[in-house]
Amino acid sequence: MPKISNKGKLMPESPIRKLVPYSEIAKKKGNKVYHLNIGQPDIKTPEVAMAAVKNIDLTILEYSHSAGNESYRKKLAAYYTNQGIPVNTEDIIVTTGGSEALMFAMGSTMDQGDEIIIPEPFYANYNGFSTASGINVIPVISTIDTGFALPAVADFEKLITPKTKAILICNPGNPTGYLYSKEEIMQLAALVKKHDLFLISDEVYREFTYDGDIHYSVMNVPGLEEHAIMIDSVSKRYSMCGARIGCIVSKNKELMATAMKFAQARLSPPTIEQIASEAALETPQAYFDEVISEYRERRDTLVEELNKIEGVIVSKPKGAFYCIAQLPIDNADAFAQWLLESYDLNGETVMVAPAAGFYSTPGMGLNQVRIAYVLKKDDLISAVRILKAAIPVYNALQTKA
């Protein structure tokens, strides 16, 4: 029998999606499942974006430019400039989601066997993108005790080797919800300049900050133009996860010319979705004000309810719409599967994402889960009530075993 590749064998499963079969089993039993496992907002996509799709008048669904439609890139540049990030049209390549933008960034900056340093826990697919690119993730651990703040620069510096090519952050963070301060970004900027590295910043949750804190982009750092790469997406900002439109942004001309070769190899980003994304740039501020207010209330509700469970440790997120909760259990993978396969409270159960999949260091996050607060407040309260009832039942079964 022909053999599959070692790279394929090494590709990690998604900790977010691998429990889907068990969720389907729970639903076939007639149980209601509260999905806290995936960052799929229940917020409506802006009307201007949906209307643009409904009103498309095309006779041929043509390829777009490999860098994306010029009209969209021009409006994106204007949008970023209005956000205090002065970039030009040529500094932007539109991609098939933020995922492809990350793949282009890795492919353009690193060779087989090179290393990228990432604070963990981190978005699980960073592991997959790195494996697919043939590069090695070097984790630097942040902890729930500090709210997952940026680890000390000394912790980064001792990991840098001749193979190190970049540092990757998510700001605000998935799965932690941590928002890096301007001071932390400046510390990283000084570090990458000192060691001549790239600083890749996944900023798809930029708008989602809740306590008056200001998001500070790597594109705002003076003198970092040759080092800074920003990753962005319409998925969360406009609740357009299915559109699969993102972009890679950098002032580094050589980098962008290289990324363009990857863009040409995949031909072009989706045409209809670019039309929707371009229209989404006209979304009124009132939409964002309402969404941010809703997420702030959901965050506060979730954290308040989790804190009612004895033994739970949760760090209050500053941004995005995720948090990491440490539960008084031995194994979150087994617990998450058991919740779907064997447990219900009055015909209802919960799906969470085990946090171990968001670490690359073996043994980390075994009793932690990532929770996405993308459900309405009443559903969050119900979901946490189920967790509170389930934990002692699960632990009792483990004791018997």
Residue 294 structure tokens: 């809703």
Do 37 and 91 share a domain, yes or no?
A: no
- Distance of alpha carbon 321 from its chain centroid, rounded? 10
**Rounded to whole angstroms, how far apart are CA atoms 267 and 262?**
9
Q: Is residue 95 part of a domain?
A: yes
Do 39 and 116 share a domain, yes or no?
A: no
Predicted pLDDT of residue 127: 93
Specify the CATH number for the domain of residue 272. 3.40.640.10
Q: Is residue 241 part of a domain?
A: yes
**Rounded to whole angstroms, how far apart are CA atoms 70 and 78?**
12
Do 297 and 243 share a domain, yes or no?
A: no
For residue 400, name the pLDDT band (cuts at 50, 70, 90).
confident
Q: Does pLDDT of 38 surpass 90? A: no
Q: Is residue 151 part of a domain?
A: yes
Q: Is residue 1 part of a domain?
A: no
The b-or-e profile of 357-383 (16+ CB within 10 A means b, else e) is bbbbeeebbbbbbbbbbbbeeebbebb
Contact (CB, 8 A) for 133 and 200: no
Q: Is residue 200 part of a domain?
A: yes
Residues 6+ apart with CB under 8 A from 198: 105, 109, 165, 166, 167, 192, 227, 228, 229, 255
User: What secondary structure letter does DSSP report for 252?
Assistant: -
For residue 89, name the pLDDT band (cuts at 50, 70, 90).
very high
For residue 18, name the pLDDT band (cuts at 50, 70, 90).
confident
Domain stops at, among 230, 250, 280: 280
Domain stops at, among 261, 280, 299: 280
pLDDT digit string, tens, across residues 187-216: 999 999 999 999 999 999 999 999 999 999
Cβ neighbours, 10 Å, residue 290:
12
Do 91 and 14 share a domain, yes or no?
A: no
Do 102 and 229 share a domain, yes or no?
A: yes
Do 94 and 230 share a domain, yes or no?
A: yes
**How many distinct helices (H) and strands (E) make up the chain?**
13, 13
Q: Is residue 62 part of a domain?
A: yes
**H runs (alpha helix) in 225-310:** 253-265, 271-280, 285-306
Predicted pLDDT of residue 13: 80
Domain stops at, among 233, 261, 280: 280
DSSP calls for 46-61? PHHHHHHHHT---SS-
For residue 14, name the pLDDT band (cuts at 50, 70, 90).
confident
Do 194 and 327 share a domain, yes or no?
A: no
Q: Is residue 242 part of a domain?
A: yes
Specify the CATH number for the domain of residue 37. 3.90.1150.10
Cα–Cα–Cα angle for 106, 107, 110, rounded to 5 degrees: 70
Q: Is residue 367 part of a domain?
A: yes
Do 253 and 354 share a domain, yes or no?
A: no
Predicted pLDDT of residue 42: 86
Looking at the 3D structure of the chain, how many domains does it have?
2
What average pLDDT score do residues 308-326 get?
96
Contact (CB, 8 A) for 363 and 373: no
Predicted pLDDT of residue 40: 84
- Between strands 115-120 and 92-95, the pairing is unpaired
Contact (CB, 8 A) for 108 and 255: yes
For residue 80, name the pLDDT band (cuts at 50, 70, 90).
very high
Q: Does pLDDT of 275 surpass 90? A: yes
Is the four-CA dihedral 343, 345, 349, 354 of positive or negative sign? negative
Do 293 and 365 share a domain, yes or no?
A: yes
Residue 286 structure tokens: 């009132």
pLDDT digit string, tens, across residues 367-387: 999 999 999 999 999 999 999
Residues 6+ apart with CB under 8 A from 61: 271, 272
pTM for the full predicted model: 0.95
Do 248 and 342 share a domain, yes or no?
A: no
Do 237 and 384 share a domain, yes or no?
A: no
What average pLDDT score do residues 102-127 get?
97
Question: What's the mean per-residue pLDDT of the chain?
Answer: 96
Do 305 and 223 share a domain, yes or no?
A: no
Range of the domain at 352: 6-44+285-400
